Amino acid sequence: MGVSRGTLREALNQLVLMGIIEMRQGSGTYVRSITPSSFMESLSPALLMDRSSTAELLDARLYIEGAVAFLAAKKATNGEIQELKKILGHMRKALKTRSIEDFINKDVEFHITIAKSSKNRVLLKVVQTIRDILYHFIADYFAAMPDTVRNAVDYHTKIYRAIENRDPSEAKRQMESHIHSLIRRMNHPVRNLSIERKHPQMVKS
């Protein structure tokens, strides 16, 4: 191949980290079965190590989930729309009972269901990865500012209705408005004090 053994070994190690190949001791090197989501597997550890990436991940949500909502409004099955309605009902119940943990879990389920409805495996994996990384931050955010839960329910209702009405542009607009609202509230100089104790990188970004 015209390269040294060291260079080749380094390249193979990078492919292992990317999840493209695997090395089996005493057996050899094998190409793994690749799916679109395979390339996302190495993303989470890298971003978790970079504490300054939280704000960038929220910006990514803005553009990615807006596109996902657009596609969901076009491609969601009737069953998936009914599932979104069911999840939204659970979110409203959690709001009434002030069960923050239940609300957060249903919030995640709502967004993942929209991503599944987009019928794009790559976008689904991206949304899952970003949500996994931001889970604890979002949980602390809602716990520190419970008044934002009602605001989130209002946005989720608008997103659901746009998808139900098969209106891609409105679904995208409402999803982007929802995430913009989240970013604005987290950057508020008074409201973010509780979050800053656990996530100083957000208010400094």
CATH, residue 79? 1.20.120.530
- Band the pLDDT of 140: cuts 50, 70, 90: confident
pLDDT confidence bin for 38, thresholds 50/70/90: low
Q: What is the pLDDT of residue 189?
A: 45
CA distance 37 to 125: 6
| 91 and 105 assigned to the same domain | yes
Which residues constitute the domain of residue 9? 5-34
52 and 16 part of one domain: no
Residue 18 and residue 54 share a domain: no
State whether 70 and 162 are in the same domain.
yes
pLDDT category of residue 51 using cuts at 50, 70 and 90? very low
Answer yes or no: do 115 and 161 share one domain: yes
Considering the domain architecture, whether residues 144 and 174 belong to the same structural domain is answered as: yes
Q: What is the pLDDT of residue 199?
A: 43
Looking at the structure of the chain, the number of domains it has is 2
In this structure, are 102 and 197 located in the same domain?
Answer: yes
Q: Same domain for 21 and 77?
A: no
Flag the least confident range among 90-94, 115-119, 193-197: 193-197
Q: Does residue 197 carry a pLDDT above 70?
A: no
Same domain, 99 and 184: yes
Q: Is the pTM value of this prediction over 0.75? A: no
Compute the mean pLDDT over every residue in the chain, rounded to the nearest whole number.
80
What per-residue confidence (pLDDT) applies to 88? Answer: 97
For residues 13 and 108, state if they share a domain: no
Does residue 26 sit in the same domain as residue 48?
Answer: no
Based on the domain organization, do 189 and 146 belong to the same domain?
yes
Q: In percent, how much of the chain has pLDDT > 70?
A: 75
**What percentage of the chain exceeds 90 in pLDDT?**
40
